[in-house]
Amino acid sequence: MKNKIILFDLDGTLIDSTEAILESFAVAFKTFNQPVPDERLIKAEIGHPLDAMFSTLGVDEEKVWEYVDAYKMHYRQISCAKTMLLAEAKEAIELASQYAILGVVTTKTAKYSIELLEYMGLMSYFEVLIGREDVQHPKPDPEPIQKALVKLPSDTSNIWMIGDTCMDMMAAKAAEIGSVGVTCGYGSVESLVKCTDNIYQNALEAVEFIAKS
C-alpha cells in the first residue's frame, strides 16, 4: 500500500539539462543581438521561472516574454538530446514508486517536461506534473505543491518534496509538508542547510531516507 506522497523537482534533482539551458539562453540573447551573460550568472538563476531569470539577467521587462519565446523555441528542439538523468535518479524513482505516489513540481514548462520524461521512459511513474504554466505563483510559493496534491488520490499526511534549491524547501514549508534537499544540483550546501534539516547527496539517498520516515 502506498501511504506516502513524494514530489520531485526536475532540474538538479532528477535531470541535468544545463547544456540545453545555457545553449537556449545564448540563442535567445543572440536573437536580439545582445551579449550573452556569463554562464556562471545563468547557472546561478536555474530553478527560477524563465521570465524571472531573463529579468535578473538584465532584460527589460517589456521584452522578457519575447526572450522567453526565443528560448523555448530552441530549447524544445534540443532538450531531449542534451538532457541526461542524474546519477541514480532512475533508481530513486523506481524505489519511490514502490511505496509512494509520485509527482513532479517544476518551474520548467509542463508540456516540455512531460515530453522529456516520456522520452526517458519515466513519465509513467508520475501521477501528476505541475509546471510553470499551471500556476500563477511558482516556487517558492506553495501553489504548485498545493495544485499537485489536489490532483493526487490520497488522504495521507506523509508528504515530501525533494529538490535541490531553497525555493523547493521554502515551498514545502509553506505547504506544510516535509522537505529533503539534494546537493547534486544548483543549490549550495550552505544555502540548503538554512532551509531544511534533511540534506542528502542525491535523489536516491533522499528516497531511502523518506522510506524510513
Catalytically active residues, by annotation: 9, 11
3-state SS string for the chain? CCCEEEEECCECCCEECHHHHHHHHHHHHHHCCCCCCCHHHHHCCECECHHHHHHHCCCCHHHHHHHHHHHHHHHHHHCCCCCEECCCHHHHHHHHHHHEEEEEECCCCHHHHHHHHHHCCCHHHCCEEECHHHCCCCCCCCHHHHHHHHCCCCCCCCEEEEECCHHHHHHHHHCCCEEEEECCCCCCHHHHCCCCCCEECCHHHHHHHHHCC
Query: What's the CA gap between 68 and 49, in Å, rounded?
Result: 10
- What is the CA 154 to chain-centroid distance, rounded? 23
